[in-house]
Structure 1
Amino acid sequence: MAGAIQFLSLWMLASVHAISMVLAQDGNHFVHYDFRKADLYVDGMASTKDGRLKLTNSSKRATGHAFHRTPIAFVNSSFSFSTEFVFAIVPEERTSYGQGMAFVVFPSIVDLRYGAATSYLGIFNRGNDNKTENHILAVELDTNASSEALEESDNHVGIDVNSIVSVESKDASYFDDTVGMNRSLVLASKQRIRIWIEYDGENRLLNVTLAPLETPKPRLPLLSRSIDLSKIFKEQMFFGFAGSTGWGKVVLHRDIKASNILLDEDLNGKLGDFGLAIFHDRGATFEATRVVGTIGYMAPEVTAMGVANEATDIYAFGVLMLEVVCGRRPVEPERSPGQKILVEWVASCGRRGALLDTVDSKLAGNFEAEEAMLLLKLGMICSQIDPQKRPTMKDITEYLEQKKRIPHISFDTAAFGIPIVPIISDETVTAQGSALSFASFLYDTITVLFRGR
């Protein structure tokens, strides 16, 4: 490699921590084993409190940056450089908010402050993405599928030039020299992975290579891209890391109910009718311009504020479980007071120690009491008024498979989301530009489906 050679070595560990860094530039060496003593610019979620560089934490939809304050001079058009670091991305136990991280070379520290979270990885934003004046090179380690069609993998490595859409990307893997074949790597596996990023300025070639920590450097890179970085870099460039959190995209069904559950020939349930579903950022709250759903299945925050997220579907699923066990609709206006609303009735029976009295009488006692109790308690836990206290679907699966003990539940009705029931008898209610007779809210535009379609 001709020209000045810059060498950078970093370690990344546990939720993306950097441990050591070595930089050689024109014969000068910079060594940072304790990042508290390093001359770094750190912002957002990034931290060096214990000497390691931690880019991300459990914050949702946030960013973290860490860059060397001293820029590198790229005055020779045939410059070459290489960087090597070890990283480990550790998802949270409950759920992962991680989006990924990237090694970045860029002209101004200030520019990165406006990098957006989620798929933008804290580097770009909607306004500056894909602009030639960015002068940015990034090698991304992405742990969530991008909304861009070119990057559908949730476990890929990409080369980015002035845009979050990679000029080249591949699923994470390494070439195993001992068997002469590629082996897959999971980026968010808690395992330490080494990466080499090398640019040959004489041949205008950028190589990116990965391998497990204990594996020698493979002879074949994962990515090899012909590119002239002298046309992208300015004479002074900064280097460092960016990371972001964000769930990617999820489907909010918004109308989970018994009539939308289909059974196959083996009586396995399948969720159908996605007519009200939306594709939305994971972990973000969707604020609707109109309220849609079915009375009895809609979470309190939907009817009161028109907001929806994964927790609102969890509420509906909880009501569905109660409906299956009890053999009753979520709302039955013709019943006596105290029994009209299923969640409220189950809670009242639970308070007096008669939870099993709610089981469908048509079963005539032919059921496993322990299984019925599990479903009833789980249905009520999913129906809690506080969305943050509702379990995730992962939790629900582990409870049903008895891999995790279901938490204690209090049957105080104040803790549960009691549906707001309109004073109507029609199957469907639609109000446009007028108030609707609900107990505690007023909407200018509202569409509510009552007792199914």
Structure 2
Amino acid sequence: MVLSLAVSLVWFSAAGVISQRDSFVFNGFEPANLSLNGASLVRSNGALQLTNSSLNLIGHSFYHRPLSFRSDTSFSTTFVFAIVPPVPGQGGHGLAFTIAPSPLLPGAQIGQWLGLLNSTTDGNSSNHVFAVEFDTVQGQNGDIDSNHVGIDINSLVSNASESAAYYSGDNQKQAIILDDAVPIQAWVGYRAREKRIDVTIAPFRVDKPHRPLISHTLDLSSVLLPSMYVGFSSATMKLGSAHYILGWSFSLNGEARPLDLSRLPSFPRPGAGSKRAETIMIVASLSGTFLLLAVAVILGAYLIRRAKLSETLEDWERDYPHRFSYKDLYLATKGFKDREVLGSGGFGRVYKGNLPGSGAEVAVKRVSHGSKQGVREFIAEVASLGRLRHRNLVQLQGWCKRNDDLLLVYDYMPNGSLDRLIFHEDDDDDEHEMQQQRTVLGWKERYRILQDIAAALLYLHEEWEQVVVHRDVKASNVLLDSEMNGRLGDFGLSRLYEHGSNPRTTHIVGTLGYLAPELTRTYKATTEADVYAYGALMLEVACGRRPVEPKAAVEEMLLVEWVQELYSEGKIADASDQRLNGWYMKEEMEMVLKLGLLCTHPQPQARPSMRHVWQALGGHALLPLEPRFMCEDLEFKNMSTDSSSILMQTPLESSSDSLRPEGGFDTVHSPLPLLDGKGLSA
């Protein structure tokens, strides 16, 4: 066994790749786990080519999976790159080492934007993009010259930059020409404790200089999200250069391991033509009629396919970022084939897709929009929602509009929906998968998923730059990533408004059983309506029953009313999912059931904010229900709208939600124990 392991390690090292959980080394990129997008490719000798010297190109290459960053995370990387202009001294833009929330960088532009951002998103703090640029053009964004190195935070206007150079052994500054068609070594390091970024470059085979070219103090804790991709980006415009990465080493919270420079691949020099054998032409003997017929068939098939994938953009569509081409989404979903369908609902079907070029897995929701009225406003809000960043939200990657179809592109969640895990629907014929699906989801996992979705709604309601009302919170829109973290998805129905303003009147959308009763009167999308839907979700998760069961007895058809009645009879524990066989903490189960009742209170001003819900689930607030909360009248016909008699006592400040009246959270005396953050067993 030891010999076999040693042989395996020798083979893997010989392939040029050394990888651990949070560090990796590529001495050449064949093989390598990379996410490639745009013009990027790995050449046959293992050199990573981001772009060739063609014009108007973008090339992205990222490590295939995201890495986990924390506020105190340091990182270190070293790589060897080469920029090769078609003619010496007449090249285009450079390249950038990049840390970003997505390997796709939707909406990025060519030229001076280096494939990272665009004129609309440049400077937005919601970008969460860190880059070190090695640029060979003096652009219109404050570049110091046409041969410089810069540190960029959410913008191509550098926070710090220097002309490309290195410090020799005698501490003398020596200039380096970045696009001289020679390999150049680069080192980038961030020390979280000192909040310092060091950038160093040197000619190939020269030892790392002791003095960095740039040493800049900058706190990246607000830039780096918990899940980030690392890689490279480049672009060309009216002038082009070929961009190559020959080797790359990266490490979190440690020094990047050195590259083996003797094993790095070569790259084509300027003017070096490919020495391919000339193609032998033997078609001269073929019939001219046959040749013309073949050309006609191929041309006809091409024109038919081109017409099928064509799209005409209105001028306003070009103003909104995060747009995907219809062709890419058509190819990603194999032509929107039925076998690629992940799920469907009243507003469209969801398809699994693999984006051409990068191969990144995505989920594509195809929404049929019956009217052209409001489409522009809809796209504007979707483009804005693409800037949302939270670990418990399914990332909205972008959008596409073609005729009456609206296509929304999301991260793909491999573990499917909470709805499917609880109710085991759509079981496949595969016996192993069927057995996995029919395993009862445990209470620990259910409780953590409820906490995750509460955190997501708190972010949407109070912590983002605008108020986001989801409008379709339900179990089928709660998706689970590879680590079974709950993520709220499907923002196709969401609405935005400014903090402190009133929500707009709109038509009623949502799912029966999750709709707040006041929607039939006000027609307004409010955070209280989202809280109601979340309360229905809490009861659904705790009881293992849908909000509406058409086949159940009349008195058990509506989940909220059924739990209300059990509560009034002192039997609320009987509402728990019997399939759990009692494997749960009784106090936690009762809290979720009671908190679900409070969230589904018929009076919107009596419902807690998501901040209070999140605090209660995390053990940072008193249980927001007393036994005297429920009255005998299950329909609340005689219940006062004064929330002071039913809401919670909390040691923290009440929600800043402007829709809630002042003094909405008065003090009551609860006989239940104060949660101390260690769980309900305290």
Instruction: Please tell me the TM-score bracket, short chain as reference.
Output: 0.3 to 0.5
TM-score of the superposition, structure 2-length normalised? 0.32
Question: Looking at CA atoms only, which structure, 1 or 2, has the larger radius of gyration?
Answer: 2
The structure showing larger relative contact order (alpha-carbon pairs under 8 Å, at least 6 residues apart) is 1
Kindly indicate which of the two structures has a greater share of residues assigned to helix. 2
